[in-house]
Structure 1
């Protein structure tokens, strides 16, 4: 390059910054203002990011791996938005919008997690069996297999009412293999009630009159299984849960019409049916229209629980979760701690592929027998089929052992 051209090039490259001419200072102050605005947006993003991460750690809603990845991604996004705000006008405008939108999402997510945590606390506070809570307190539900007794009592309103248990389902869960086994036992199963019936037999449903712990002890004795947890629901909570989920798709083994005693007269198709809350309740309550009576009703109850689990595992539950939990908190009771429920949420987020849910129902034969809780004569009961009971024991053991 010729010397004179090289000299002009160096002179042009090293030209000092111009100062603002008289009367034109506003124009030359804009870059400084843009930098200040960019830094402000960056600070807002960093504050929102820190709030989100601290909330996630404190409330225990996300797996550690996801939080680590989220921290890196959010930091890169914040730096990317900051650089955009120092570019040309379209990029500056877009960067500001992205920065504010991202911050708003992070703050909203923090409050969302707080609402979920508060709603979970409403369910776990004040259960009627603190001794069962102590028994189950040391179980790591994200790693250890466990069983939950799902009890449906035949009343509306306050869940604290002591009543017969018309729904008796054991859910055995293996969090590592993502297996759930639902075992339904007919309400009229003719069994001993430990600590109550003094060796005499009674209907399983009558155990509920002596408290949730008695129902659990009865099923533990029947299936030789440890049941540390329970969830108790009533008619009100079932309706609310199904409606909040947006309805459920239930597969019926039979075609039939429900009667007035079920709470709603409707037609049920054989195969897939979409039910709202009131329809799902009528489906699980109906037994007079069923040839196999209470045994088939138990299978229908299983079908509804299975449909609810599958719907709850869908991505939409992340949005509906707080509303669902808050609505049913007054009509649902469990002895799981809030921390254990949080661990289940975290385990579900870790394995987004969902759970494998299978169902089995205990079988028996109809008879009329004297019952411990009733002195007015014989009652309709279901005599347990020992082969069916033994098969259920084997299935429970298989899920617990991860087979």
Structure 2
């Protein structure tokens, strides 16, 4: 099915869930072989998504894992192109999922799509242009330079399972901080606790025009929804229901393209130390910015906070994101 404009939202909110749930579910012994077969059998592989060795940060020995999550801004299915060579399409969203060496939790850093950054060979541009200029390989290089840390795995998602996942979970409950009416579909979301169905969730995470700070609130809403899904999927209620876990993986795996190392074997390796990870152990933050501005060629952009980005890079390098998140989370 073609990916419609309605469904081109922040696609990577789902990918993080798949990685974590797969590891936790396997660790809990929930139909491990079945999950592995479904995940590996339905995901497609990206050929060599990493930059040349000379252009990469030095390796560290912290034992942490960093996974770059990309949502492609294609107008149709990613499968229509050789993904490792995909150009001309901007990434709809970009996140780095960090699993610390002690496997005590999960830390997800999202980069706003209009962040103005250096892109090797192309000067400065919005971060979401990296995919357009050089595919996943260039996107990895850009992010590695920002966090001065290696990306261990890469995944891109072409999303068409969003509504199915939400509805398979019986809806996702969140505490909405701001009442608003979505521009598309005119759905009204009241302030306070609400339960989102699949269709509602699409409108909720996509909206930006209803807010004074636009993309900033949209990013917060996407993280809020993602947290709700994590809480539901990593709850005892779900993890003791193999059918629900398998249904969730089954709905999402066909829309993922991953590097060859991001497989069920990788998840199984994480599983023993992540079996006790739950929704409250998954933390989210947005890469620090100083606000919006205008580029030299007149584009509306988001300016990264260089000083705090340096602190974030150090936290990645030293595997101390827990401390950084605690000090900077609003």
Deviations 1:46-85, CA, capped at 9 Å, x for gaps = xxxxxxxxxxxxxxx866xx99xxxxxxxxxxxxxxxxxx
Shift of 1:355: 5.6
2:138 is matched with which residue: 208, 214, 220? Answer: 214
Alignment of 1:223 with 2:223, yes or no, is no
Alignment of 1:201 with 2:124, yes or no, is yes
CA distance in 2, matches of 1:399, 1:280: 33
CA distance in 2, matches of 1:399, 1:281: 34
Shift of 1:151: 1.8
1:182 is matched with which residue: 97, 108, 111? Answer: 108
Which structure's residues are more often helix, by fraction? 1
CA distance in 2, matches of 1:238, 1:341: 22
Alignment of 1:311 with 2:232, yes or no, is yes
Alignment of 1:151 with 2:61, yes or no, is no
2:219 is matched with which residue: 288, 298, 308? Answer: 298
Shift of 1:291: 0.9
Shift of 1:272: 3.2
Shift of 1:324: 1.6
Q: Find the counterpart in structure 2 of residue 322 from structure 1.
A: 246
2:301 is matched with which residue: 381, 387, 391? Answer: 381
Cα RMSD of the aligned pairs, angstroms, is 3.2
1:165 is matched with which residue: 74, 88, 91? Answer: 91
| Structure 1 pair 250–332 and aligned structure 2 pair: CA distance change class (3 A) | farther
Higher RCO, 1 vs 2 (CA within 8 Å, ≥6 residues apart): 2
Shift of 1:401: 7.6
Aligned residues: 278
Alignment of 1:245 with 2:169, yes or no, is yes
What is the DSSP-based 3-state SS (H/G/I as helix, E as strand, rest coil) of the residue aligned with 1:282?
helix
CA distance in 1, matches of 2:314, 2:228: 24
Does structure 2 retain, via aligned residues, the 8 Å contact 1:167–1:301? no
What is the DSSP-based 3-state SS (H/G/I as helix, E as strand, rest coil) of the residue aligned with 1:166?
strand
Q: Structure 2: give runs of 5+ residues left out of the alignment.
A: 1-24, 54-58, 324-330
Q: Structure 1: give runs of 5+ residues left out of the alignment.
A: 1-60, 68-108, 371-376
1:127 is matched with which residue: 45, 49, 64? Answer: 45
Bigger-Rg structure (1/2): 1
